[in-house]
Each structure stands twice: as C-alpha cells, then as structure tokens.
Amino acid sequence: MKKLILFVTVMLALLLVSCSTVEIKEESTVTPSDYSVQETLDSLLASGHYSVIPIVYQNGSERQLDEDYLDYYFGSADLLEGIDSYIFVTSPNTNVNEMGVFKITDAKNREMLIEAFNTRRENLIQTHTNYSAEDLAIAENMIIADFDDIVYFIATPDNAFVEEIVKG
C-alpha cells in the first residue's frame, strides 16, 4: 500500500511539473525598417545644427566607436553587437550637445541601449550639477526613445528640432 501511495504521489508530482512548464521563446529578431541612417545624417548636416562631423557606422564598414569609447560614454562595450548602423555626435567641448541614432538587428539591444542612454543621462547630470545650469537642463531633458528598429537619444539645446529630423 505504501508503494502504491508513493507511486501515485510521484506520478502526480510529475504531472503537475509537466503541466506547469511553459517553454518561453525569446524573440530576438527585429523586423528591419527602411529607415536610412545616411539620410538622417545628411539632414542633420544640412540643417547646420552640428558643426562637428558625426561618427557614423554603416553595416560592413569599419567601426568608429571602439570598446573604450563605448565604455566611457555608455558604460558597456557590448552595445555594438546587434547594431546595423548608427550615428553618434558629441560636442568637442564641455557643453552638453550630443545625440545618437542606432539601428538594431537584435531586440536584446533595445533595452541595453535604453539602459546605456539612461546611464549617460545620469552621468551628464552628475557632471553638470555644480557646473552649468544650462547644460544641466539639457542633460535632464535628454530624450530617450525608440520606434521600429531605431533606438535614439538626444541631448541638445533644441531637442525637438533634432528629434524631428531623427523621426524623418
């Protein structure tokens, strides 16, 4: 009798475990859009908003952002994996005037980039808290957003103008 009770108990336990196990497949692919990082870059340069040449990467070209650069600005060098193309612009002086547009190929990068951009915002806020009220306001008002396969941040004196160009 004890063996029968033990057998039934084990079978019920196995049945419960097998019924409650759900296989979760994490979707890591992103549906590619026809968004052109090059067209965005051309529009930014034509607008005259930036006087510095942005750092640009198109899939297959030489990467301009190296691991040290990404570690410094965003706290992680792993961000380049799953990126099809990007634009990154930063001010050559100490003023806050930077933006980045990243076209992703892997959904995991969306959250990684958003987290990195939030880290960048916090670093800018910390840097400018006792330095420049104007730059502090720009850092605090940094836009971090995404659409389709695009993830971007904008921290400029005129975020709305730059965001209009980014969104096309």
**In this predicted model, what pLDDT tens digit does every residue of 8-52 receive, in sequence order?**
444 444 444 444 333 333 456 778 888 888 888 888 888 887 666
**Predicted pLDDT at 14:** 44
CA angle 111, 113, 114 (to 5 degrees): 65
**Predicted pLDDT at 6:** 41
Phi and psi, residue 162, nearest 5°: -65, -40
pTM of the model: 0.75
Burial (Cβ within 10 Å: 0-12, 13-18, ≥19) of residue 110: middle
- Integer Cα distance of 97 and 31 in angstroms: 31
**In this predicted model, what pLDDT tens digit does every residue of 59-113 receive, in sequence order?**
666 555 666 666 777 776 677 677 788 888 877 777 888 899 989 988 888 998 9
How far, in whole angstroms, is CA 17 from its chain's centroid? 38
Phi and psi, residue 165, nearest 5°: -65, -45
Whether the pLDDT of residue 137 is over 90: the answer is yes
Region for residue 119 given its phi and psi (left: phi exceeds 0; alpha: psi -120 to 50; beta: otherwise): alpha
Name the packing angle between helices 67-74 and 108-128 (round to 10°): 60
More confident residue, 79 or 130: 130
**In this predicted model, what pLDDT tens digit does every residue of 141-155 receive, in sequence order?**
999 999 999 999 999
Enumerate the β-bridge partners of residue 70.
Answer: none
Is 86:150 a contact under the CB 8 Å cutoff? no
Enumerate the β-bridge partners of residue 57.
Answer: 86
CA angle 163, 98, 147 (to 5 degrees): 35
Indicate the residue type of 163: E
**Predicted pLDDT at 54:** 66
